[in-house]
Each structure stands twice: as C-alpha cells, then as structure tokens.
Structure 1
Amino acid sequence: MTPPEETGIGITAEAPCAPPAVSLCITTMRHRPEFLRTASARRQGAGGFLVQARCRNDGKPGVQVGFTASKKIGNAVFRNRAKRRLREIARAVLPQLAQPGWDYVLVARPGVTVDRPFAQLLTDLETALRAIHAPRA
C-alpha cells in the first residue's frame, strides 16, 4: 500500500490504487493580500455566511479558499468553531461546484454560522456558488 497523497485542504486519497477523491487542486489562502483581492470582487450572501469570489485569470487551474471569522463572532472558542464548520462545508462542496482559477473566501456571520444546522450550511454554500457562477445578464 502506498502512502496517502495530499490533494487539497485536508483531503487525502490513496495513490495509485484508488483514483483521487478530488480532481481539483484546492489550497488555502494564507496571506492578507489574497483575501483583500478576493474581497473586492463578487459577493454572495448565504444564510449562515458570506461568500466572496473572484476569477484570478492567471492561468493556474487550482482553487484557493480562505476563511474569516472576526471578533464579532465571539471569543476565540466561537471563532474557531465557526472556521472549523466553514472548512468542513468547503471540503464537502467545493470539489463539486468550484470552478478552476477562482478564489473563494467564506466569511462567518455573528450568531448564525455557529448555531445553524450543518445541512443548511451545506445547502447555503451550494446555492451561493451556483449564484456566483450563474451567467450575468
């Protein structure tokens, strides 16, 4: 058995025995300028959070994702819980609905992201991504 390969934000797949779980390379944003560039582009509100997205147009096929929870969310325990929940919905939804060459930032909402049922958060992200990538009139 070969060791697992890293395929994105914590998603691993056995190689070469099994096909990769994700065909899209998803990386996490680490630096403030990346977040700021994404914040200046498209925004789509969802029930439990806000999604900011932008097309990079740099020819790189991967997807970048970032997570933000301000002090309005609460103390460190609540901010960390909100970001953990956002990371999990990103792992579940982005491989199917994200488009290559795009950056996404998920921004937690006070009093909602932590308390909203997980299934509704998944639905919120799916709806928001479809709205972001819908053809503009």
Structure 2
Amino acid sequence: MPGFVLLARDRADGDPARRIGITVSKKVGNAVVRNRMKRRFRSLAREVLSAHGLPGHDHVLIGRAGGIERPYADLVRDLVKAIGRVAPRP
C-alpha cells in the first residue's frame, strides 16, 4: 500500500505551473516523524512532478501511516503511477 494519497485539481487559469501541497496528520506520528515525511515528499515532488506532473494542476500529497518506512524508490514508482491514474482522459 502506498504511503500517500495523491489529489490533483485542474486550476483552469491558463497557468501551466505545477503546484504542490503536502499534509501529514498527527495520526501518522509525532512531529519528528511528520516533518521527516514532509521532507521526503518535498524531495519526491522535486524529482517526479517536474517530469510527470500535470501542467496547470495543484497536486496534494496526503501522508499515510507506513509511508515513512517505504523505500524511496517505491515512493517514486507509486507517485508516477498515481499521476497516471489522475491524469485526465482525452
């Protein structure tokens, strides 16, 4: 199971910028765990969203329990797959 949920929303404002939001609830762990997960998500977003993100969309990563233990390579694969799922169909 992935360590996050991805939400994507088309801004429909004509701006092709890809924006990111990150949230991790207190259910996931204490402040140290939550901040560590947010740092991993920021790194993940820099790496993956620049190449695979949807232009003109806001992307929100919601951290889930177990995401901190997942290997980084698995998170990259999960995010690429999740972006493919939320991409608009022609």
Which category describes the TM-score, using the shorter chain as reference length? over 0.9
Does residue 51 of the first structure (1) align with residue 6 of the second (2)? Answer: yes
Among 61, 70, 74, the residue aligned to 1:120: 74
**Unaligned stretches of 5+ residues in structure 1:** 1-45
Give the alignment's TM-score, normalised by structure 1.
Answer: 0.63
Among all aligned residue pairs of Structure 1 and Structure 2, give the percentage whose two residues are the same amino acid. Answer: 46
Give the letter aligned to residue 80 of structure 1.
Answer: N
DSSP 3-state at the match of 1:91 = helix
Aligned 1:70-109 pairs, distance under 5 A: 70-109=25-64
**Unaligned stretches of 5+ residues in structure 2:** none
Q: Match for residue 22 of structure 2?
A: 67
Give the letter aligned to residue 70 of structure 1.
Answer: S
Return the index of the structure with the highest Cα Rg: 1
Superposed CA RMSD in Å reads 1.3
The separation in 1 between residues aligned to 2:67 and 2:37, in whole angstroms, is 6
Give the alignment's TM-score, normalised by structure 2.
Answer: 0.93
Q: Could you give the per-residue CA deviations for residues 4-32 of structure 1, whole angstroms, max 9, x where no partner exists?
A: xxxxxxxxxxxxxxxxxxxxxxxxxxxxx
